Amino acid sequence: MSSNDEQPRASTTIFDVARLAGVSHQTVSRVLNNLPNVRAATRERVEQAIRQLHYVPSQAARALVTRRSRTIGLVATGLPDFGPSSIVLSFNRSARIAGYAVIASHPTDIEGPTLRSAAEMLIRQSVEAIVLLAAERGVLDAFDDWELGVPLVAIASEARGRSVRVSLDQYGGARRAVGHLQELGHRDILHIAGPAGSMDAEERLRGWRDALIDAGMPVVEPLRGDWSSDSGYRIGQQLLAERTPEAVFVGNDQMTLGFLHALHDAGLRVPEDVSVVGFDDVPDSEHFSPPLTTVRQDFTALGQEAVSAVLAQLKDEESPVMSAMRIPELVVRASTRQR
């Protein structure tokens, strides 16, 4: 084996070959099927990538080139909260404008067999690609083990696996939230995080922690909620029974609503006693009491970018790429003030 050869990998897919050769997966399929309209130099590059990766094509991979159903599959996991629902609406609208229908599956759990069943249902309906709206790490990891026979685009906060990914920069958004509190003079900034295993929650927690560490500020282990207002209220009661922080960065606006309720019940004023920042900028956040300083995510743009990533994958001679991440916007309202 030459020094340029890669070690065999049991899970190598047609998309790995396409990446290495710098072509589309349809071009790889044309080479596999010995079809015309492939330049000799391109064919040689693909064949070299196949040899280098020790790729053994599946029947689905050979059939890719003829698949033209004008439909896209969507697998959406997680709760139907404001963010995911907004992304799905934008994705459906953008796909329709591009001339594609969307067949959606909303698995009731994230266990491997359930996810596999959802994907196979879409494949049986001859979708040209699958978009995965993944909230949890385990979902991405599960899909990474399967060769679907169609391109996979993941809407996910973390870069995991081999799928093309589009995302909003949760880490950068969290750093903007904490940076705002730091600029106001706060040195004691706590965090109420989302559930463990949630990629959004982990990226926001990581942004909060790094912003504090970089500023030489103390890091207190965050308390975790489940994204609901009830969990924000319970955590607020638990926290305020022990201490009154200067400022709190909460992992989403719904938990922030519950936390504001707990502050009110404890007789604390926002922002006079505690500055509070949320995340998401849900439509009601400007009507919280007080109006909430939060981080606004462009869910509409994210849905559009997911469709653009699919279309790029379906075009010939396009190398798979990752979309650049947008940093969410800080929206300053009345729940924060100078210390």
* Secondary structure of residue 201 in the 3-state scheme: helix
**pLDDT 10s digits, 138-192:** 898 888 877 777 888 999 998 887 778 899 999 999 999 999 999 999 999 999 9
CATH topology of domain 68-168+299-325: Rossmann fold (3.40.50)
pTM: 0.81
DSSP H or E stretch at residue 198: none
- CATH 3.40.50.2300 domain locations along the chain: 68-168+299-325, 170-297
Q: What's the CA gap between 211 and 147, in Å, rounded?
A: 39
**Among the listed residues 186, 88, 70, 171, the one whose alpha carbon sits nearest the alpha carbon of residue 133:** 88
* Portion of the chain with pLDDT greater than 70, in percent: 90
Q: In this predicted structure, what is the pLDDT of residue 62?
A: 63
Can you read off the two tokens belonging to residue 14?
A: 């047609």
Q: What's the CA gap between 182 and 35, in Å, rounded?
A: 61
Q: Give me the residue label for tokens 């909460």.
A: 250
Q: Are 208 and 191 in contact (CB under 8 A)?
A: yes
**pLDDT 10s digits, 190-209:** 999 999 989 999 999 999 99
CATH of domain 14-64: 1.10.260.40
Q: In this predicted structure, what is the pLDDT of residue 19?
A: 80
**pLDDT 10s digits, 230-261:** 999 999 999 999 999 999 999 999 999 999 99
CATH of domain 170-297: 3.40.50.2300
Model confidence at 15, in pLDDT bands (50, 70, 90)?
confident
